[in-house]
A = this chain, B = another copy of it.
Amino acid sequence: MGSIFEIIAEPNRRAILGLLLLSQQSVGNIERELGMPQPTVSKHLRVLRDAGLVEASVDAQRRLYRLKLDPLREVEAWLAPFRRMWSAHMDALERHLETMDDPTPPQGKAARRNP
């Protein structure tokens, strides 16, 4: 499977990652919690493992899967400029609201960014 973006495009995989956010989980737990058949879980876990998004430790017959979120940094990195863009718009809106004849000028709450 190609990029991290394709990996997280799958809803079930996102669900699994979301569940693992709470704590590590056995395959059976994931199966029960998310209500998907066991082979499906295992196969998605395989994909996630190959992508480096999870890793497993063996607890007898169980495998406990936990998050390894390093690969998500690529998504974060890709998203960053877009986030900058919309916070730029936010700032513009703030500036606009500040200049609107407002008897109570914005103060106190939310410290200025880049003072």
Residues on A facing B (Cβ under 8 Å): 2-3, 5-6, 8-9, 11, 14, 17-18, 21, 67, 69-70, 72-73, 75-76, 78-79, 81-83, 85-86
Q: Nearest chain-B residue to A8 (Cβ)? A: B5
Contact in complex: A21, B82 (CB < 8 Å): yes
Count of identical protomers in the assembly:
2
CB A71 to nearest CB in B, in angstroms, measures: 10
CB A58 to nearest CB in B, in angstroms, measures: 24
CB A31 to nearest CB in B, in angstroms, measures: 22
What is the CA–CA distance of A49 and B13 in the complex, to the nearest angstrom?
Answer: 26
Q: Which residues of B contact A17 (CB under 8 A)?
A: 82
Q: Which of A5, A6, A76, A78 has the most CB of B within 10 A?
A: A5
